[in-house]
Amino acid sequence: MFKKLPGDEARNLVSTTPDTAVVFRPAVMQTPAIVTIVIWLSRLVAGLVRLVVRHPVAVAIPVGLGVIWTLYGWRLALVMAGFLPSAGLSWLLLDRASFLRLVGWPLLAWWRLVAVYRRHWQPVMVVSGLGRHIRGRDYLPRLVRVECDGWADRVSVKMLNGQAVTDWADRIEHLAHGFGAPSCRVAVARAGRLVLTFPRRDPLAEPLPALPVPDEASVGPVEIGRCEDGSPLRLKVHGTHVLIAGATGAGKGSYLWSTIRGLLPAMRAGLVQVWALDPKRMELSFGRALFGARYAADPKECADLLDDAVCVMQERADRFAGLQRSHTPTAADPFVLVLVDEVAFLTAYQPDKQLRQRITAALATLTTQGRAVGVGVMAALQDPRKEVMNIRNLFPDKIALRLDESEQVDMVLGDGARDRGALADHISPVPELGAGVGYVRLETSPDPVRVRAAYVSDTDIRAMVAEFAGVGR
Ligand SMILES: Nc1ncnc2c1ncn2[C@@H]1O[C@H](COP(=O)(O)OP(=O)(O)OP(=O)(O)O)[C@@H](O)[C@H]1O
């Protein structure tokens, strides 16, 4: 308070008891001028050091020109300044990445700070309720820094003392609209500090064609699409279990097929076996020849196949006990990936109670004990409610595609995921815009990441079958 109200103003802050009998006046201590000067100077030096560290190129240019001016006169400095744009252009053409990192993004960040965030900060904070306007004074969260990259602005914020992350997470729509961004994510940087991510464009707006089948046999992470920041989406399948939830037509099939596609060379090398359960008979049946005998569609056959997977798991657990605690895929002990399309057909909608219980028990056993011995489950379903999928929490990694209701987002991704920006219920139902788009929440990271899987078309599946039929034998 004293920092903001120096001297006489603080002296005038007078308050009284309700009956005005007692008057409180703050005691104002006179600070010697030298102390004030030292404080101001130290702040100036700290600010200069910060400026040099944060913006080395922006500082080096005027300083360099100043040195030339001093040593050789203003004419040479002017000529050098005239060369700057062409030097910048050559740098951009020769090494785009370093130019953008050192010049392009910092300049854009400065512009966005001035033209967008600082300009709208006060009204957005006050109207959204994140700042307070008390007795003529604004108490606002501090806008610390803006950083830019190719797709988003990252705004570092110091919260007001006493604010919680949920205060911000509840207002992501206010923030996005207030700063003219399509969406906003909230992440905690450290105590009291947040990073707000405002995307400027959407790299996932266009469908992605199927990715090439990898040259090398690898058990993963499998590249299956792209993340919102433009980086490849690499999904870990070995050593975890993955649950994919999305309404009908959300594009669950593209996650299943992109994963199979990425694992084909490893399947051919004998390092991976994909066991396919296809109770709807509409998805995995298309590439049946890839799975050999490890394909089931009838619920009874599905239950038998799951029991077989449990047997493999238990046999390995017996063999590995006391010798190894994690699994390395080999031709003798390949990684077994159990793929289940529309798992609710087997766990909830299955009229035969005994069969239903058997399947649920097998899935629960695999998801609780399978990953250490190289048996993983990847299951897709439409309805994530607990009545439909009571073992959904046994899947460490989750993907929420387009969902019908906002409450379903947290059911799939865990508490607070929607507040952190996983707006899976806002994904477009138009296939070109929204199919395959989803939010991934990994066991290791609480922040949901927006992604889009590549679309593996029927023609791609036919080509995969033509080239790799029989790999699952
Ligand atoms: N990754 C994708 N990118 C672009 N379009 C896609 C993608 N995935 C699917 N689509 C489009 O959306 C349609 C529906 O996809 P898909 O059948 O995989 O959805 P689904 O979630 O499996 O639905 P259902 O549960 O009804 O089987 C596809 O026919 C295709 O046109």
Tokens of 24: 């409180």
Ligand 1: residue whose CA is nearest its atom 8: 251
pLDDT in tens, 143-184: 999 999 888 999 999 999 999 998 998 898 899 999 999 888
Question: 472 and 272 in contact (C-beta within 8 Å)?
Answer: no
In this predicted structure, the answer to whether residue 9 has a pLDDT above a threshold of 70 is: no
Give DSSP secondary structure letters for 341-408.
SSTHHHHTS-S-HHHHHHHHHHHHHHHHHSGGGTEEEEEEES---TTT-TTGGG-SEEEE-S-SSTHH
Provide the whole-model pTM: 0.76
Q: How far is the CA of 254 from the centre of ligand 1 (A)?
A: 6
Tokens of 67: 């040195």
Q: Is 246 annotated as a binding residue?
A: yes
225 lines ligand 1 (CB under 6 A): no
- Return the SS3 of 339: strand
455 lines ligand 1 (CB under 6 A): yes
Between CA 58 and CA 77 the distance in angstroms is: 16
Q: How far is the CA of 42 from the centre of ligand 1 (A)?
A: 60
Q: How far is the CA of 373 from the centre of ligand 1 (A)?
A: 32
Crossing angle (nearest 10°) for helices 56-72 and 74-94: 150
pLDDT in tens, 339-367: 999 888 888 888 888 888 999 999 999 99
Task: Give bridge partners of residue 148 from the DSSP assignment.
Answer: 153
Ligand 1: residue whose CA is nearest its atom 17: 249
Q: How far is the CA of 48 from the centre of ligand 1 (A)?
A: 54
Q: Is 192 annotated as a binding residue?
A: no
Question: 348 and 251 in contact (C-beta within 8 Å)?
Answer: no
Question: 197 and 184 in contact (C-beta within 8 Å)?
Answer: yes
Ligand 1: residue whose CA is nearest its atom 13: 249
Q: Which amino acid is present at 105? A: W
Query: Beta strands 375-381 and 152-158: pairing type?
Result: unpaired
Q: Is 400 annotated as a binding residue?
A: no
Q: What is the 3-state secondary structure (H, E, C) of 271-304?
A: CEEEEEECCCCCCHHHHHHHCCCCEECCHHHHHH
431 lines ligand 1 (CB under 6 A): yes
251 lines ligand 1 (CB under 6 A): yes
By percentage, how much of the chain surpasses pLDDT 90?
A: 52
207 lines ligand 1 (CB under 6 A): yes
- Return the SS3 of 208: coil
Q: Which amino acid is present at 51? A: L
Ligand 1: residue whose CA is nearest its atom 4: 207
Q: Mean of the pLDDT values across residues 41-68?
A: 90
Q: How far is the CA of 455 from the centre of ligand 1 (A)?
A: 8
Question: 251 and 401 in contact (C-beta within 8 Å)?
Answer: yes
Tokens of 3: 């920092």
In this predicted structure, the answer to whether residue 2 has a pLDDT above a threshold of 50 is: no
CB under 8 Å to 40, separation ≥6 — which residues?
none
Q: Is 21 annotated as a binding residue?
A: no
Provide the mean pLDDT of the chain. Answer: 88
CA dihedral 162, 163, 165, 166 (to 10 degrees): 120
pLDDT in tens, 308-327: 999 999 999 888 887 777 78
Instruction: For residue 457, give the ligand 1 atom closest to its CA.
Output: 30
Q: Is 247 annotated as a binding residue?
A: yes
Of the pLDDT bands very low, low, confident and very high (cuts 50, 70, 90), residue 71 is: very high
Q: Is 322 annotated as a binding residue?
A: no
- Return the SS3 of 26: coil
Q: Is 245 annotated as a binding residue?
A: no
In this predicted structure, the answer to whether residue 3 has a pLDDT above a threshold of 60 is: no
- Return the SS3 of 201: coil
Q: Mean of the pLDDT values across residues 410-436?
A: 89
Q: How far is the CA of 283 from the centre of ligand 1 (A)?
A: 10
Q: 398: burial class by Cβ within 10 Å (0-12, 13-18, 19+)?
A: buried
104 lines ligand 1 (CB under 6 A): no
Crossing angle (nearest 10°) for helices 353-369 and 299-320: 30
Of the pLDDT bands very low, low, confident and very high (cuts 50, 70, 90), residue 472 is: low
- Return the SS3 of 444: coil
Q: Mean of the pLDDT values across residues 443-461?
A: 90
Query: Which of 206, 211, 226, 252 to probe ligand 1 with, by most ligand atoms within 8 A of CB?
Result: 252
Instruction: For residue 253, give the ligand 1 atom closest to its CA.
Output: 18
Is the interface score ipTM higher than 0.90? yes
Short-list 356, 437, 419, CA closest to 389: 356
Query: Beta strands 142-148 and 185-190: pairing type?
Result: unpaired
254 lines ligand 1 (CB under 6 A): yes
141 lines ligand 1 (CB under 6 A): no
Question: In 66-190, where do the E strands start and end?
Answer: 132-134, 137-139, 142-148, 152-158, 185-190
Q: Is 300 annotated as a binding residue?
A: no
Between CA 139 and CA 122 the distance in angstroms is: 9
453 lines ligand 1 (CB under 6 A): yes
Among 288-297, 303-312, 387-396, which is the least confidently predicted range? 387-396
265 lines ligand 1 (CB under 6 A): no
How remote is the C-alpha of 3 from its chain's centroid? 39
Ligand 1: residue whose CA is nearest its atom 15: 251
Ligand 1: residue whose CA is nearest its atom 25: 248
- For 148, phi then psi, to 5°, come to -120, 150
Q: How far is the CA of 252 from the centre of ligand 1 (A)?
A: 6
For the sheet with 397-400, list strands across it. 232-235, 222-227, 449-453, 437-441, 397-400, 242-245, 375-381, 335-340, 272-277, 295-296
- Quote the pLDDT of residue 1: 41
